[in-house]
Structure 1
Amino acid sequence: MNLSFGRRDRNNQEMDSSLTASLLLLSVVFMQFVSAAGPITITVKAEPGQKVTLPCEDPDQRKILFAEWKRTDLGSKYVLLYRDNGIATDGQHPSYKDRVELIVYQLTFGDASLILKNVTITDSGTYECRVLIENSGIKVISTANLDVLPPDPFPVWAIVLLVLLVLLVLALVAAAGVSFYFWRRWKPGESLERCYP
């Protein structure tokens, strides 16, 4: 009779439970690492006159109580400040007045993305989103590099289309010229012998 068989089952069960506990601990550490990661950096490209959204989202989707968007080269002036359940206008940089907004109800779900309307080339720069999250401190959770570039003066497809149109017109003019030449040379009712004696 083999008595070690029962011992192996118990050892296997202990290994299974310790493996499960190890995997659980590893997943908790991994989730803490992911949520504690630094701010997300994103690049947004736009053309003058467009409306852009600069993202700022808490990965844990916790309620945001305070949000501040700043452009790193503007000094103490801010782009947008949300505090005390409203958007503050004192201290806002004048070039952003009436051009920026948040979707306020999204703050409850951890989203403080900035909507910037009618962008100009001077809006290009690096923007930081700092937030105060419920049961947490103030932290930067997003950095956005905004590149506002003028549109191409003439798109490539339009140049190709224009060249094809010019070639078509030239071909039609050449065909009309050749047709007119032959029509004048061989008038209707005349024989070819008269043209070539």
Structure 2
Amino acid sequence: MPTLTFSLCLLACFLSFSVSTEITVKPGDDVPLQCQSPRGATITALKWSRPDLNPDTDGYVFFFRDDRLYENYQHPSFRGRVQLRDPEMKDGNVSVILKNVIINDTGRYECIVSMNSKGFELMNTINLTVTDSGQTEGHKDGGLTVGLPVAAVLVVAVIVGFVIYRKCRQRPDQQVHYGAPVPQQV
């Protein structure tokens, strides 16, 4: 039973890591950038950034601290186009909506949260592609596209956990012995 608990904890830890989301949309769309922090945590600051923008010189996509938006920290191209999906951030929802996207909005977006007055922690990464080709490969609604490698690791983790669980549940008289048989005393 402890092995099953360990396996479930391992799986839960694996699932708690941020997963990269792929979104492809057309210019002019409004795009929700999904991000979830732990429920019940006190969110002291929220940063949405793009690694290709230097926050010291260019600013952030979105910067929120002490219950207010700091537009002076925003990159000029994002001012007036980004808002919290849920201004109260209920249940840890720190998603934002990027309005009226343009081709230059294509890039990697990172959701970084400070909770309970601790340091910042990366919660989610979104790869946004804005294309005018008329074909969208991702989900406009911010749906999650999990790659095959992630699914394969999950399947392997479940199988390994099940095998370990089964081995631990075997009774001593059902154990498989390798090598020479051990004589039993009567």
Q: What's the TM-score once normalised by structure 1's chain length?
A: 0.59
List gaps (5 residues or longer) in structure 1. Answer: 1-18, 154-197
Distance apart, 1:25 and its partner CA:
4.4
Q: Tell me, yes or no, if structure 1 residue 24 matches structure 2 residue 2.
A: no
**Percent identical across equivalent pairs?**
33
Runs of 4+ in 1 over 4 A off after TM superposition: none
Distance apart, 1:87 and its partner CA:
0.8
Aligned with 2:39 (options 61, 72, 77): 61
> Number of matched residues?
130
Q: Indicate the residue corresponding to 2:65 in structure 1.
A: 83
* Greater Rg over alpha carbons, structure: 1
Which structure: greater helix fraction? 1
Aligned with 2:27 (options 48, 51, 67): 48
Aligned with 2:109 (options 96, 106, 127): 127
Alpha carbons 1:44, 1:54 under 8 Å: kept = no
Distance apart, 1:138 and its partner CA:
1.6
Distance apart, 1:62 and its partner CA:
3.7
Q: What's the TM-score once normalised by structure 2's chain length?
A: 0.62
* Partner Cα separation in structure 2 for residue 135 and residue 24 of structure 1: 31
Distance apart, 1:31 and its partner CA:
2.8
Distance apart, 1:32 and its partner CA:
3.7
Aligned with 1:96 (options 78, 84, 103): 78
Question: Which amino acid letter does the alignment assign opposite residue 35 of structure 2?
Answer: C
Compute the RMSD of aligned alpha carbons. Answer: 2.2
Alpha carbons 1:69, 1:81 under 8 Å: kept = yes
Alpha carbons 2:26, 2:134 under 8 Å: kept = no
